[in-house]
Amino acid sequence: MSQILEIPVIHMLNDLDKEFIQSLQVSTDRSYRGFRHIEFEIDKEKSVYFYILDKQEDYFTQSIWDRTIPRAPFTLFLVEEINHTVQDLITQYERKYATPYFIFIPFDKSVEDKSNDLAQEDNESVFYFNSDEENGVIKTLLSALKQFTERREEVEK
């Protein structure tokens, strides 16, 4: 029996989702109306399904968000930086969905010092990923999952 983790991904820039996808060893990549389905196979028994959601430009796409996000353990926001537009989107997300989220930001490639491999900003939901490093996204995702699990265990105590 296979274990599958399904993660919706909300992104702000078209090139950014390409960078994210290129940093994974994708075993399946299919495009559908409203989303793109990417499968990352961890091993023969475990996979991660990423649903790269289209922007909410019509009712159909909105309905995909409404069916996908509430069923997921968490959502990934894939952004270049946290700016006013991103903050507005997150505010709208928080009003509508109870699903926790993480914000993934790529390293600034112009910065020489990349010692903050999994560094976080003051916001504990923000993670930096290195798309140039082998399995950089997966390492960052594992760190986010670990944090998510620890938070859930604290709440359950």
- Count structural domains, the chain: 1
For residues 64 and 111, give the distance between their C-alpha atoms in angstroms, rounded to a whole number: 37
Instruction: Identify the top-confidence range among 51-55, 116-120, 146-150.
Output: 51-55
**Beta 35-41 vs 26-32: how paired, if at all?**
antiparallel
Max alpha carbon distance in the chain (Å)?
44
Least confident of 34-43, 86-95, 121-130, 136-145: 121-130
What tens digit of pLDDT does each residue of 20-70 get? 777 677 778 888 888 889 898 888 888 889 998 988 777 888 899 999 999
DSSP assignment of 52-113:
EEPPS-SHHHHHHHHHHGGGSS-EEEE-SS--HHHHHHHHHHHHH----EEEEEE--TT-S-
Domain span at residue 56?
A: 3-156
**Which domain CATH number covers 87?**
3.40.50.300
